[in-house]
């Protein structure tokens, strides 16, 4: 198909979609992000969860304004004295968009099915602590944990896709959902065309306040330049994730566009290692790469100083991410060469590495990031780096199958607690995240510390345990923290658009956005 014909077909699809709205003009949101998979048990990326969050709900949610826990499908809950039994009282009268009841049986069905499916790319590890789910009566469900976990209620919010509740009648049996579901969120999913758009319509049976905009279309753009052009021309009402730093600066002088920054950023960017994949299965190699990487070059050459270097995986945002301890070292090329020499690498016998990256998911500057990182490692004179680009879907497949040795990734908080920045790659989902850290000799030490931390109510004591994990990680180097994603804490909107807000969840609540 020619590019021209493709554009004509896309335009026809969008015109048809817009015409279907009648007199009510939809809110148009633009992004360069994309859906990986709309499956509760097999997606673990921010934008897929963004779509699921708008169209489904969970037992609990975070208040849009205060971020405090509050009831959603559950209107109240009780916790046993030992912290292992949670009894949720379901709000009466909730129905899914297919007309079936959202009750205690639906809660049990959804959570049991999601846990059973446990896809290789999914975040089901975030609710592994569940042991049994029991329906006590039509509006009461009891969840028993394997062990006490003070983060459990946070994991039961609509921030977490595996915690979301959906209709048994619309679920595709034992297959992953891939968009085939009926939820009970503020919107219902009307249409999803991969890499083109997502179309929503307000859910008339939603138990809460009706969304501020009845119709919403989220358009997907190929790169940041196209997204900038779309907001400047008024083609979209809101631009979200992610504009280039120089475009943000330019747009601030455009009176027809409102640029807003929402610091601080809890989002982080980092290098990960599959600790079983040669040659990075050697801890001295990982340590050497840690000493060789040049954060300042990334910050200045790629982002023009608009992001901040980081030396721990825990965001320096307190509350809620307490216990940040910058344990990773500054750059030291001599130390990197020394470490490589101890394991037999030198100029005559160089260390050859592959560095895959995904070209658009994190913004169109990702190729520059990979190039700068490769150059900084090659400054040792002992390392040679081969750079490879893979689109996001293929990137996730390769990552979770263990094919990568060293690779770039970014993290947005699943739930607002420090363990979410330490556990996924080490104790919770190391194979789905591609690190295979469950095969590392120190895995059990990490798990023991994490289990105690999650059972510790005292946040000071819990913070010290999280510090211990950070100290261990500096020696084992399953990751190298690089920079804070302040570039993603920016939105652009037209002057007649209201209700746009970014908070530490790093997501926008589309149900609060409207235009005059």
pLDDT at 502: 94
- Taking a C-beta distance cutoff of 8 angstroms, is the pair 49, 57 a contact? no
* Residue 65: HSE in the Cβ half-sphere, 13 Å Cα cutoff: 1
> What separation in angstroms does the CA of 94 have from each of 17, 100, 134?
29, 9, 20
pLDDT at 476: 98
Element (H, E) at 230: helix 224-233
Q: What is the pTM of this model?
A: 0.91
Report domain extents, the chain.
25-219+490-515, 268-487
Closest CA to 429 of 120, 147, 176: 120
Buried-exposed string 128-137: b where 16+ CB fall within 10 A, e elsewhere: bbbeebebee
Domain covering 268-487, topology: Dipeptide-binding Protein; domain 3 (3.10.105)
- CA–CA separation, 222 and 232 (whole Å): 16
Give the tens place of pLDDT for each residue, 490-512: 999 999 999 999 999 999 999 99
Strand partners, 101: 95
pLDDT at 24: 81
Give the tens place of pLDDT for each residue, 396-410: 999 999 999 999 999
pLDDT at 363: 82
Question: Of how many residues is the chain composed?
Answer: 516
Domain covering 25-219+490-515, topology: D-Maltodextrin-Binding Protein; domain 2 (3.40.190)
Buried-exposed string 250-272: b where 16+ CB fall within 10 A, e elsewhere: ebeeeeebbbeebeebbbbbbbb
Q: Name residues of the chain where pLDDT drops below 70.
A: 1-23
Give the tens place of pLDDT for each residue, 258-272: 999 998 899 999 999
Residue 126 DSSP code: G
pLDDT at 22: 45
pLDDT at 371: 98
Contacts of 444-450 with CB under 8 Å at 24 or more apart are 445/472, 446/472, 450/419, 450/422, 450/423, 450/426
- Taking a C-beta distance cutoff of 8 angstroms, is the pair 122, 399 a contact? no
- Taking a C-beta distance cutoff of 8 angstroms, is the pair 219, 47 a contact? no
* Residue 421: HSE in the Cβ half-sphere, 13 Å Cα cutoff: 31
Q: Would 25-219+490-515 and 268-487 be classified into the same CATH topology?
A: no
pLDDT at 255: 97
């Amino acid at each position: 198909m020619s590019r021209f014909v493709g554009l004509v077909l896309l335009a026809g699809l969008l015109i048809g979609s817009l015409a279907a709205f009648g007199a009510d003009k939809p809110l148009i949101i633009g992004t360069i992000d994309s859906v990986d998979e709309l499956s509760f048990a097999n997606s673990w990326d921010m934008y897929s969860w963004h779509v699921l969050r708008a169209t489904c709900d969970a037992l609990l949610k975070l208040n849009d304004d205060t971020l405090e826990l509050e009831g959603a499908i559950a209107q109240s809950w009780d916790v046993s004295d030992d912290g292992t039994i949670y009894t949720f009282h379901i709000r009466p009268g909730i129905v899914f968009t297919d007309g079936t009841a959202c009750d205690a049986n639906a809660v049990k069905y959804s959570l049991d099915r999601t846990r059973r499916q446990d896809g290789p790319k999914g975040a089901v590890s975030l609710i592994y602590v569940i042991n049994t789910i029991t329906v006590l009566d039509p509006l009461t469900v009891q969840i028993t944990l394997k062990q006490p976990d003070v983060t459990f209620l946070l994991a039961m919010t609509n921030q977490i896709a595996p915690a979301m509740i959906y209709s048994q009648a619309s679920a595709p049996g034992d297959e992953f959902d891939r968009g085939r579901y009926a939820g009970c969120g503020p919107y219902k999913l009307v249409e999803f065309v991969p890499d083109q758009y997502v179309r929503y319509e307000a859910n008339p049976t939603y138990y809460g306040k009706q969304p501020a905009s009845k119709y919403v279309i989220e358009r997907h753009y190929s790169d940041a330049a196209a997204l900038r052009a779309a907001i400047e021309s008024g083609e979209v009402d809101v631009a979200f994730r992610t504009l280039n730093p120089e475009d943000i600066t330019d747009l601030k002088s455009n009176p027809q566009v409102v640029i807003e920054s929402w610091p601080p950023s809890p989002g982080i960017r980092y290098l990960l290692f599959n600790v079983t994949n040669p040659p990075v299965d050697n801890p001295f190699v990982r340590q050497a790469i840690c000493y060789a990487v040049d954060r300042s070059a990334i910050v200045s050459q790629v982002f023009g100083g608009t992001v901040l270097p980081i030396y721990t995986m825990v965001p320096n945002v307190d509350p809620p991410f307490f216990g940040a301890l910058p344990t990773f070292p500054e750059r030291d090329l001599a130390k990197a060469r020394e470490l490589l020499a101890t394991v037999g690498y030198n100029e005559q016998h160089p260390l050859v590495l592959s560095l895959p990256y995904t070209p658009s998911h994190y913004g169109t500057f990702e190729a520059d990031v990979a190039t700068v990182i490769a150059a900084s490692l090659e400054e040792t004179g002992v390392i040679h780096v081969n750079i490879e680009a893979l689109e996001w879907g293929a990137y996730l497949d390769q990552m979770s199958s263990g094919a990568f040795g060293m690779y770039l990734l970014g993290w947005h908080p699943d739930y607002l607690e420090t363990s979410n920045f330490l556990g996924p790659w080490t104790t919770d989902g190391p194979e789905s995240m591609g690190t295979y850290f469950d095969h590392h000799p120190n895995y059990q030490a990490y798990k023991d510390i994490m289990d105690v931390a999650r059972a510790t109510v005292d946040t000071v004591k819990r913070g010290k345990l999280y510090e211990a994990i950070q100290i261990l990680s500096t020696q084992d180097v399953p990751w190298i923290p690089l920079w804070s994603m302040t570039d993603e804490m920016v939105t652009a909107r037209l002057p007649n658009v209201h209700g746009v807000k970014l908070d530490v969840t790093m997501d926008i609540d589309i149900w609060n956005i409207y235009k005059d």
